[in-house]
Structure 1
């Protein structure tokens, strides 16, 4: 195999591939990227056995062929080459080496046989639809903060993507929860998605998917089966196993009877929480909210380090309420708000609180209170 490729195109493809590779590997071939050159393009494929990413780039292919090389090492080399350089990759399978040349730079890297590289078995996808990148980005960006990191409840270690009843009929919905907070985001149901089986997209896949969703104009081809999910652009295909488990009935924890309504400037609220939480030694220390008519007092009392208090003007007309929250959870939820105002709906100091973005019903957040 011998190819010439522009440094920028190579860096983009290799960086996408190497981010999937696990740093600590007991199986040497999983640290490698599979490079396949044919026609006028080259493909870079990497996997950790749960996720596979395939990235295509245009190249001058002098000699077709394939090889595998350490993904992280190749990425570091390409990253340090000068902008605009033309990079030549030349694989000698007999010697087991890949030479990387650019200008006066020359590197020789060890390769492993391409036959050892595990290619993820192709799946029969029952559901195929197309969704706009901006729509998918909103669904996953606004829900991923609530993904659980607790390994024991592995079925919460991802975003549950499914079809549900929304405000205006059927919707494509993403839900994540860790038992302390919950995010439920709806988008218009794309054509062809109505029969989609609900799948739990793993945390790592959600992170990798984010890199495909930067171009608002782009459409993403989504394919779903019971065991796998695939997201594809013209250049990149991300295939992932889904979490084999049953996502709990999240509708039971979304309060329906919360009537105490507070409306507050989302940005002001987030900054105020951040400021008062500064005095607590741990970010998880409770922030107390004292609500009176059109007035909110945020306070933290940390005996070891001090106390803080800040007052905000809010729209609130109900009876007095005192409730405590984990400062980190409040900040994460407040930072999701794209609109100017956040609406909080309370019941009592011991019940879950609901938050919405103004009058938008398509994004709903729930946070459990703390004892203060």
Structure 2
């Protein structure tokens, strides 16, 4: 695999990936980001087995391929590169190394085989709908403060998102509580969401989703099943 990508685009993708991976884990591959280059795009994938983040962006792909490398280490390197730098990623599968080149800077990182990277099970979704980013941002911002941090009360470690009746109609409602505080916030029901099953969105997932909701002009596509949200 060999590709070139602008530092800003690479930093955005790797930042999202490294925020998902666990710093302390007993499975080495979970500390890595899977990099897949093909055609005119490169895709970055990271998971902690509960959350999976995928970022696909444009790149100059000279040689297609895939590898995995430490997400945190790659993020630290890219973060310190100068703005506007063109970064080249090139892996040597035989040596198990990924080379990062940017101007006079050169780094060599250890890799793990892409085959070791876990694949999240595919799922059929019961409901698919779109909602403006500001709507979802408001739902999470007004409810997340009440999420419990007690791991033994796992059923309170998230935001309960569901369809509820209100004033003769239906709304999209988010509820959170830690046993002392209760947050409840409603939004107009998006088209196509009427058959959405109620789900608990975990605290960490809420935090990661919130990072994707900064752009006011974006419509967010949401897919929900009884066990997954995308």
What is the rounded CA distance, in whole Å, between the counterparts of 2:134 and 2:196 in structure 1? 20
Q: Which has the higher contact order (CA 8 A, sep 6+)?
A: 2
- Extract unaligned runs of 5+ from structure 2: none
Q: Tell me which residue corresponds to 1:110.
A: 110
What is the rounded CA distance, in whole Å, between the counterparts of 2:35 and 2:152 in structure 1? 37
Q: Tell me which residue corresponds to 2:97.
A: 97
1:43 is displaced (CA, Å) by 0.4
Q: Tell me which residue corresponds to 1:165.
A: 165
Q: Tell me which residue corresponds to 2:3.
A: 3
Count of residue pairs the alignment pairs up: 230
Deviations 1:307-351 (A, max 9, x none): xxxxxxxxxxxxxxxxxxxxxxxxxxxxxxxxxxxxxxxxxxxxx
What is the rounded CA distance, in whole Å, between the counterparts of 1:137 and 1:168 in structure 2? 25
1:97 is displaced (CA, Å) by 0.4
TM-score by length of 1: 0.61
What is the rounded CA distance, in whole Å, between the counterparts of 2:20 and 2:167 in structure 1? 37
What is the rounded CA distance, in whole Å, between the counterparts of 2:86 and 2:167 in structure 1? 53
TM-score by length of 2: 0.99
What is the rounded CA distance, in whole Å, between the counterparts of 1:226 and 1:29 in structure 2? 28
1:168 is displaced (CA, Å) by 5.9
Q: Tell me which residue corresponds to 1:217.
A: 217
Q: Tell me which residue corresponds to 1:196.
A: 196
1:167 is displaced (CA, Å) by 3.4
Q: Tell me which residue corresponds to 1:241.
A: none
What is the rounded CA distance, in whole Å, between the counterparts of 1:161 and 1:200 in structure 2? 6
Q: Tell me which residue corresponds to 2:74.
A: 74
Deviations 1:198-242 (A, max 9, x none): 000000000000111000110011000111110xxxxxxxxxxxx
What is the rounded CA distance, in whole Å, between the counterparts of 2:107 and 2:90 in structure 1? 10
What is the rounded CA distance, in whole Å, between the counterparts of 1:150 and 1:101 in structure 2? 44
What is the rounded CA distance, in whole Å, between the counterparts of 2:50 and 2:116 in structure 1? 17
2:121 is the counterpart of 1:121: yes
- Give the CA RMSD over aligned residues: 0.7
Q: Partner of 1:229: helix, strand, or coil? A: coil
Q: Partner of 1:150: helix, strand, or coil? A: coil
Deviations 1:278-316 (A, max 9, x none): xxxxxxxxxxxxxxxxxxxxxxxxxxxxxxxxxxxxxxx
Deviations 1:75-130 (A, max 9, x none): 00000000000000001111100000000000000000000000211110011000
2:177 is the counterpart of 1:180: no
1:152 is displaced (CA, Å) by 2.0
Q: Partner of 2:229: helix, strand, or coil? A: strand
Q: Tell me which residue corresponds to 1:26.
A: 26
Q: Partner of 1:145: helix, strand, or coil? A: helix
Q: Tell me which residue corresponds to 1:83.
A: 83
What is the rounded CA distance, in whole Å, between the counterparts of 1:168 and 1:129 in structure 2? 22
Q: Partner of 1:115: helix, strand, or coil? A: helix
Deviations 1:163-199 (A, max 9, x none): 0012361000000001111010000000110011000
What is the rounded CA distance, in whole Å, between the counterparts of 2:42 and 2:122 in structure 1? 20
1:150 is displaced (CA, Å) by 1.4
With over 3 angstroms needed to count, the CA separation of the structure-2 counterparts of 1:168 and 1:39, relative to structure 1, is farther
What is the rounded CA distance, in whole Å, between the counterparts of 1:69 and 1:167 in structure 2? 52
